[in-house]
């Protein structure tokens, strides 16, 4: 918000932000950001693990130094912003496991794809605002691409849900149970792509608000238990051991 005060003042959705209205000074805003960001990264690094702290620091850098200036330069900002939104659940995984493995990447992938129907549908109704602010959003400069990308990533959520049991993160009940809600958001994504109006964009946006927590809740209830994975690992280790015993003279 510190960097975008002149542009936020031209948009209805941001003209009442504290910095725009002069309710707080730019210096206070920067000090507040630093007092949150620096101790936050330190706590993650020292209290959790260095990998999670590094991801937190990278995400702050990506948002402030890449995504924010790109919003006025290129529609690629939406893809960069989607990465920013995908990193927090990855940090949750690395905080719990200490590793950046398939589960972390899958969670990040789900959040990455979800953001395109969510934001593209939201931005569709704010095209005039973004245009006044001088922001390069797909809905303003490439409206057809905006709708196509939203639909593609709705469909990608079906594929990502199917990959979860393949990677041994959930049981096979997860893609089955999640299929109805994934099909529904894909249907609304198709309606948005076909109709290209405010009504279809609003329906897709409001669906995205409950779709993500519902999908993650289903994923949580269908997750593979740690003990089950451990038993499977022990079984495989035992089989390898027996195979070695058979081969040894």
CB contact at 8 A, 95 and 49: yes
Domain chopping of the chain, boundaries: 4-223
> What is the predicted pLDDT for the residue at 15?
86
Residues ≥6 apart with Cβ < 8 Å to 131: 140
> What is the predicted pLDDT for the residue at 227?
55
d(CA 231, CA 228): 5
d(CA 165, CA 179): 14
pLDDT exceeds cutoff 80 at 230: no
| pLDDT over 70, % of the chain | 90
CB contact at 8 A, 157 and 225: no
| Rounded (to 5) percent helix, strand, coil in the chain | 80, 0, 20
> What is the predicted pLDDT for the residue at 224?
84
Q: Which two tokens stand for residue 223?
A: 């997750």
Per residue in 133-178, pLDDT (tens digit) is: 888 999 999 999 999 999 999 999 999 999 999 999 999 999 999 9
Of 203, 169, 153, which Cα lies nearest the Cα of 89? 169
Average pLDDT of the chain is 90
> What is the predicted pLDDT for the residue at 235?
54
Per residue in 57-80, pLDDT (tens digit) is: 999 999 999 999 999 899 999 999
> What is the predicted pLDDT for the residue at 226?
59
Q: Per-residue pLDDT averaged across 78-105, rounded?
A: 95
> What is the predicted pLDDT for the residue at 229?
58
> What is the predicted pLDDT for the residue at 236?
53
Banded model confidence at residue 14, pLDDT cuts 50, 70, 90: confident
Q: Per-residue pLDDT averaged across 199-213, rounded?
A: 97
| pTM of this structure | 0.85
| pLDDT over 90, % of the chain | 75
Q: Greatest CA span in the chain, whole angstroms? A: 83
């Amino acid at each position: 918000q510190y960097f975008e005060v002149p542009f936020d003042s031209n948009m209805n959705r941001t003209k009442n932000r504290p910095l725009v209205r002069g309710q707080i000074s730019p210096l206070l805003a920067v000090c507040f950001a630093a007092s949150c960001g620096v101790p936050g990264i330190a706590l993650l690094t020292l209290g959790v693990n260095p990998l999670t702290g590094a991801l937190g620091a990278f995400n702050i850098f990506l948002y402030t130094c890449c995504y924010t200036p790109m919003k006025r330069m290129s529609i690629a900002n939406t893809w960069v912003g989607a990465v920013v939104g995908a990193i927090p659940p990855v940090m949750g995984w690395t905080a719990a496991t200490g590793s950046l493995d398939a589960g972390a990447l899958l969670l990040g992938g789900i959040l990455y794809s979800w953001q395109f129907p969510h934001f593209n549908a939201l931005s569709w109704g704010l095209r005039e605002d973004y245009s006044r602010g001088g922001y390069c959003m797909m809905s303003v400069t490439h409206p057809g691409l905006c709708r196509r990308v939203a639909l593609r990533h709705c469909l990608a959520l079906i594929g990502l849900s199917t990959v979860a049991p393949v990677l041994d993160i959930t049981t096979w009940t997860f893609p089955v149970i999640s299929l109805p809600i994934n099909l529904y958001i894909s249907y609304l994504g198709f309606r948005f792509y076909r109709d290209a109006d405010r009504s279809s964009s609003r329906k897709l946006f409001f669906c995205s608000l409950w779709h993500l927590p519902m999908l993650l809740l289903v994923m949580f209830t269908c997750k593979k238990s740690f003990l089950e994975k451990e038993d499977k690992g022990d079984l495989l280790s035992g089989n390898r051991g027996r195979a070695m015993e058979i081969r040894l003279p």
